[in-house]
């Protein structure tokens, strides 16, 4: 009877050790398909929300390569520029009076769709895992009907399936033929996200 209890105890301890070892593995470190969904807040005077998902391949050594899509909504600073106008009035010397172009900045609600490439490196295969990540891609402004681009390096920490990261989004403004542009042409915006890996 004592031998049976010893065998059962050893088996339970071995099983508990295996489960503990498995629990220490990081989902962002496992080899094979990897995906996530993230909610975030980006700010440039006025904050706006982001929702994104990324899917790709984890190489099992900390590296992940993938791509995804995003949706952004909020208030954007847009500069409306009107072209030069020629006044029919004449100067005393007979030349045509030309008025300079004018511009006005307005904050408007907007919606951006995005597509991105994602490269990430996780530093260790533990439940608590710091990582570096770089996203780059294009955006499409539904209001302006114009394309833009961005690059966003970030640092973060994954704990199990949850991850929190903070980065700096550098966004290159959209232009279109009507001379309505997002101002400034280059925006630097802090971006904080909370995500779940699956």
Q: Are 67 and 54 in contact (CB under 8 A)?
A: yes
**Of 99-108, 114-123, 130-139, 158-167, the least confident:** 99-108
CATH number of the domain where residue 104 is located: 2.40.160.20
Question: What size, in residues, is the chain?
Answer: 198
Higher confidence at residue 65 or residue 95? 65
Domain with 190 in it: 2-197
Q: Look at the chain and report how many structural domains it folds into.
A: 1
pLDDT band at 11 (very low <50, low <70, confident <90, very high): low
**Cβ(72)–Cβ(115) below 8 Å:** no
Task: Count CB-CB contacts under 10 A for residue 184.
Answer: 14
Taking the complete model, does pTM exceed 0.75, yes or no? Answer: no
Q: Are 93 and 195 in contact (CB under 8 A)?
A: no
Q: What is the DSSP letter of 29?
A: G
């Amino acid at each position: 009877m004592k031998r049976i209890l010893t065998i059962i105890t050893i088996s339970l301890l071995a099983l508990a050790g295996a489960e503990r070892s498995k629990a220490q593995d990081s989902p962002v470190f496992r080899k094979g398909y990897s995906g996530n969904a993230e909610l975030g807040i980006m700010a440039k005077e006025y904050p706006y929300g982001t929702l994104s998902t990324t899917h790709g391949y984890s190489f099992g050594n900390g590296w992940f390569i993938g791509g995804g899509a995003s949706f952004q909504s909020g208030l954007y600073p847009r500069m409306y520029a009107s072209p030069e106008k020629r006044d029919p009035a004449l100067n005393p010397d007979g030349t045509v009076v030309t008025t300079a172009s004018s511009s006005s900045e307005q904050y408007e609600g907007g919606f951006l769709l995005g597509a991105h490439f994602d490269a990430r490196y996780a530093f260790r295969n533990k439940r608590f895992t710091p990582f570096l990540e770089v996203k780059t891609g294009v955006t499409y402004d539904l209001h302006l009907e114009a394309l833009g681009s961005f690059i966003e390096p970030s640092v973060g920490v994954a704990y199990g399936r949850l991850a929190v990261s903070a980065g700096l989004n550098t966004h290159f403004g959209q232009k279109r033929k009507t001379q309505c542009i997002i101002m400034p042409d280059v925006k630097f915006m802090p971006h904080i996200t909370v995500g779940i890996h699956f």
